Structure 1
Amino acid sequence: MSDLTMGQGASGEGAFRPRTIALMIVVGLIGFVGMLIVGAYAPDLRSGRNGGAHALSNGATGYAGLVALAEATGRRPQIVRDKRLLDVPDLLVVTPESGYIDMSEVLGQRTDKPTLVILPKWATMPDKDTTGWVNYVGLAGRGNAERVLAPADKLTVAISRSQGFRLVSRAAREYGMRFTAPRPLQTFSGAGVLPLITDRDGRIVLGALGTRPVYVLSDPDLIDNRGLATEAGARAALELLDYLQHNGAESIYFDVTLNGLGHSSSPLKLAFSPPFLAMTLAIAAVLLLVGIQAVARFGPARLRPRAIAFGKAALIDNAATLVRRAGREAALGSRYAQVIRERAVNAFGVPARLRDGAIDDYLDRLRGRARFTDLATAATQAQDRHALAQAAQALHRWAITDNKETRT
């Protein structure tokens, strides 16, 4: 019996309507794709509002205010999250938060390009009441700032009390840069350093490392969010950027890769980025078509046939299958020859008095092109399926075609 017979009485109405199932599938697919995209770009979507000393931070020691001020005044600031973009010809502002951060890779790409390195000064802790704000714990210490450029450039950092006097702009008088010394004031010194901004005692606040266009700002309070609290401080910060951007470039770049906010490479992100995005969309289109093909049927449903069919033809086919699987096909030759003999006796009017060999002699004398006994012997002696088929066909032609006139 058929394996489908038992289910014919079942209702075609499922537990859910087709529209409900389709809606569940669509929502699931959208959620899955969204999860993949968020998982690929989650590191790149971090806002940086963690109170750190970098260009995305809105805390007192951050530089988000300087970025916003540069944007508002047409200086086109750019946030660098990819280390491959550090080799730009424009001014790059680097803000390492610790002396243990490796600066060699960044400075190696900036040997002949303007670069401003801002030394760390403060130790802070997150503010519990306002997200992104910080509270001062104290000074980070001279050793932390001295390790930023070591061992390539050995700097000596000093922290002194400040009376709030105006700093001296030695090599940049034409740009103004009228800074007021923060309290306390962090300065530095080193071999071959060219002073650009100093305090009254000649201690360097901003200096160039020899002939290279690499500048060091010892006190971040001059241009961080805290330093931009006054109009004079904001104006001086912009004048400082304009002075360091002396090559006429149109943008200012702020690096955040050293602050742990850079882009992360992953195979999943490559799937959503050119040129691999085209292949991803092609695969999505193929899956969509496969889904449509699975949901929407083209034409009426085709039922599977019964396991055991009805009628004599099915019975004969089953019997033939059993004989074939048993390997006994060649043994049927003699029986087929006997069937043809019996049909020939009736068809050709063989006298009833003849028996056995006399019948074969009578059939051999018919006008056929071959003798019946020869054909019957070939069928009886067949050893394989191919030989049996040829002998059976020859017997069939002898009975049907070769002796047609005799039969009529």
Structure 2
Amino acid sequence: MNGRMNGSPGNSAPFGPRAMVALVCVGFIAFVALLAAMGTREPRADNGGAHGLGKGISGYAALAAMLSAEGRTVDFTRMPGSAEANALLIVTPLAWADGKDIAQVVNRHRLTGPVLVVTPKWQAVPLTSDPRVTPSRWNPFGAPKPPRGWSTVVGTEPPEWKGFLDRTSVRLEQPGGPPAHGWRSADGQSSGPLPDDHVVLSGQGEDDGHHGITPLVTSADGRVLAGYFADGGAYPALDRMAGLTAPTGEDRDMHPLVIVFEPDLLDNMGLADRQTGLLADRLIRAAAGDAEGDAAARPIAFDLSLAGLGQPRNLLSLAFQPPFLAATICLILAAAASIWLGLARFGPALVAAPAIASGKVALVTGSAELILRARRHHLIGAPYAEAARERLIAALGLPRRRPEAETDAAIDRILETRMPGTIPFSTAAHQLGSARRAHDIAAAAAQIHRIERALVTMRKA
């Protein structure tokens, strides 16, 4: 087989096989990198928010650092439901988080492990200058910037989580309210101050199963600052911290839900006090169900998804999971087939002929097709013979304006002299003029053409 398809001889391929393979590979790698970047990018954690990575005044980075220093495994999860199954999940939702999302995260994890929910109270914004440096008007560069993630309190905002523990209510005292006079553990073993003794967040009520709150930490005037729901589960560590002599439940397959209404018991601002830090450690141990003296019995996981730091699912891994796996396989096979077809073809690409051809050949071809379509081909025989006769008169030097029969007789004599045995020109002209079918017309016209070429060629020789 010829190695060139029908096309222009100069129609060479713009890219060779290697260049095409390189282009496809670069495009595929760029597309995969785009999917990975879209699926793995994470919101910045140093935003001064109230979450496990927050280093601001309302964050919980100090609690995470303290637990890690004790030898515990501390993780931070950005995707709901990705925490280790038996870990103590610490949930720190935003004040305006969707209660249904919180309930879904909490209820799902309680099937395998305990959950501790911290309610928000402070409104904090990132600092614009370093508070450790005294401002000076002589500084031409302005106030120095603070460490990244530091924040300051600008107000308070109690949570509104419709759809999560709707039977539980919270109460936030304002600066002019009665003082709390610090916090007290329910068993009376420890006590300590609160960063703001007037702005205190407390709670009361029951869960959706009508189980009441058992206090773990209260204020001096009796407000519940932290507690757990006595829902029939066996929680001996929580019962001991609550100062109870009898267990609140016997079901050992259940996992507790602990609510810390006052965030200053666990946040960075509260843990600046040593007694509060010891209380936070004891509260985490009780929620995790650790035995006395066991510092690393259960891992800790801080949920960041409900704190505004959620991470979308990786699109690259999602493409290889059902039900998208079938579509991904089809795309890969289609791409492979396209590459194979591009490399396996022979010769340059076929260039289509123009819709309207140009030149004498196109004019003759178009005229012939028009005559055939109009079924008037029988009218062209006599004019073609007359035109051939005129050309032969000029080529052979015969007299003009003679009768047609005399001219044909003269052409026949010359043809017989030079090419004996050839059909006479007069006979061929008569056959062409009387022909009616396209095949007969073409045969007679070809005979006249051969006669004309033979006489003209001999004349020139």
TM range (shorter): 0.5 to 0.7
Q: Match for 2:186 among 168, 171, 187?
A: 168
Per-residue deviation, 1:400: 8.7
Per-residue deviation, 1:72: 4.3
Per-residue deviation, 1:107: 1.0
Q: CA RMSD in A?
A: 5.3
Per-residue deviation, 1:104: 1.0
Amino acid corresponding to residue 51 of structure 2 in structure 1: H
Structure 1 residue 76 corresponds to structure 2 residue 73: yes
Per-residue deviation, 1:78: 2.9
Per-residue deviation, 1:220: 0.9
Amino acid corresponding to residue 197 of structure 1 in structure 2: L
Q: Is the 8 A contact 1:90 1:252 kept in 2?
A: yes
Q: Is the 8 A contact 1:71 1:77 kept in 2?
A: yes
Counterpart for residue 169 of structure 2:
155
Structure 1 residue 204 corresponds to structure 2 residue 228: no
Per-residue deviation, 1:155: 2.1
Per-residue deviation, 1:389: 5.5
Deviations 1:332-365 (A, max 9, x none): 733674389679989xxxxxxx933435766699
- What's the secondary structure of 1:157's corresponding residue? strand
Per-residue deviation, 1:61: 0.6
Amino acid corresponding to residue 66 of structure 1 in structure 2: L
- What's the secondary structure of 2:106's corresponding residue? coil
Equivalenced residues, count: 318
Counterpart for residue 187 of structure 1:
202
Per-residue deviation, 1:93: 1.9
Deviations 1:124-180 (A, max 9, x none): 44433135333334554xxx247566663322436563444642358xxxxx9x563
- Shift of the 190–320 alpha-carbon distance from structure 1 to 2, 3 Å rule, reads closer
Q: Match for 2:104 among 105, 108, 113?
A: 108
Q: Is the 8 A contact 1:146 1:157 kept in 2?
A: no
Per-residue deviation, 1:195: 1.7
- What's the secondary structure of 1:110's corresponding residue? helix
Q: Match for 1:213 among 253, 256, 261?
A: 256
Amino acid corresponding to residue 133 of structure 1 in structure 2: W
Query: Going by fraction, where is helix more abundant, 1 or 2?
Result: 1
Q: Percent identity, aligned pairs only? A: 25
Alignment of 1:389-408 (within 5 A): 390-395=443-448
Per-residue deviation, 1:226: 1.7
- Shift of the 254–343 alpha-carbon distance from structure 1 to 2, 3 Å rule, reads farther
Amino acid corresponding to residue 55 of structure 1 in structure 2: G
Give TM-score, length-normalised by structure 2: 0.52
Structure 1 residue 50 corresponds to structure 2 residue 47: yes
Per-residue deviation, 1:105: 2.1
- What's the secondary structure of 2:65's corresponding residue? helix
- What's the secondary structure of 1:58's corresponding residue? coil
Alpha-carbon distance between aligned partners in 2 of 1:319 and 1:60, rounded to the nearest angstrom = 90
Give TM-score, length-normalised by structure 1: 0.57
- Shift of the 61–76 alpha-carbon distance from structure 1 to 2, 3 Å rule, reads same
Amino acid corresponding to residue 120 of structure 2 in structure 1: P
Could you list the runs of 5+ residues in structure 1 that have no partner in the other structure?
1-28, 171-175, 291-316, 347-353, 402-408
Deviations 1:205-225 (A, max 9, x none): 322234273221011111111
Q: Is the 8 A contact 1:195 1:207 kept in 2?
A: yes
Deviations 1:66-109 (A, max 9, x none): 233444444333333334647955332222332x4322123124
